[in-house]
Structure 1
Amino acid sequence: MDVPAGLGERGLALWAAMSGNDVARNALVLECARLADRLDELDNIIQGKGVLNLMQFRVIDSLVSDDSLDINVEVKFQNVFSEARQQATALAIILAKLAVGSDAAQKHVPAAENVTPLDRIKARGLKKA
C-alpha cells in the first residue's frame, strides 16, 4: 500500500502502525495522521518555533474628505490554543473509533443488561477493595 504524500514524522508513524487493507479504516487513519501532524505544527507555533499568519486585516470602509483619508480596518487574531484543543479533540475521537476493532476494544466486556451506572460504579469499588 502506498504511503500518502505530505505526512510528517508523527503522521507517517501513525500510518505505518494503523493502516491496513480496509479502505474505510484507512480514510480514518489518514485523517488521524494529518491531525497528529497538524498538532505538532500548532505546538511549534505555541512554543514560538513555527510560523502562522495570526492576524487578518480587512478594510471595512474608507472616507476621503478635503485633505484627509479615513480608513476603518478590522483586525482579527487567530486563537492557536483553541485550534489546538479542537484538533486534539478530533484526534481523540478518531482514535477511539479506530480502537473499536482493535484487540483492546474487544477485551472490554459490555455491562450486563438492567444494571444502572451507579451499580457499575459500586461494583468497581468493591473489586478494588
Structure 2
Amino acid sequence: MHLMTGSNFTLLSKSFKNTCLGILLTLGSIGSGNAKTPLFFCPESLAVGEQLYPLSNAALFDRPVEKRGELVPEMSKQTRKWNIDSRMDPYLICRFDKVKHTLTLHVVGATQCIVNETPFSVQCY
C-alpha cells in the first residue's frame, strides 16, 4: 500500500480532497442503525482550539459558494429538503453557532440533502 504524504497530497485536486473528506465523514456514520446511510453529513459540532461550537445551520449551493448559487429548500415544519439534479455541482455549507468558521463539502453523487430540526442534523443521500 502506498500512502500519499507531505507535498504529494497538496497536488491532489480540491474535488478529490473533498471526496476524501466526505468518505471519512461517512465512515463515522456507519453502524448508526439508519436504514439509509448518508453519503455526506455535517458534524454535530466544530472544535476550534478547546472550544466546541454546535452545528446551527446549513445551506446548499449549485457551484462553489463564491459564485453565489444558493438553492432554496422545500420547507416543512420539521425539515428542509433539497433535491439535487445530476447536472448540478452541489456544495453543502455547514454553519456553527457563534463562530465564523464553516465546513464546505462538495457533495458530488448526492441526490438529496435534508436538514432535520429536532434534533438538528444535516445529511445528504
- Comparing both chains, which one has the higher relative contact order based on Cα–Cα distances under 8 Å and sequence gaps of 6 or more? 2
Taking structure 1 as the reference length, the TM-score comes to 0.24
- Which of structures 1 and 2 has the bigger CA Rg? 1
Q: Which has the higher strand share?
A: 2
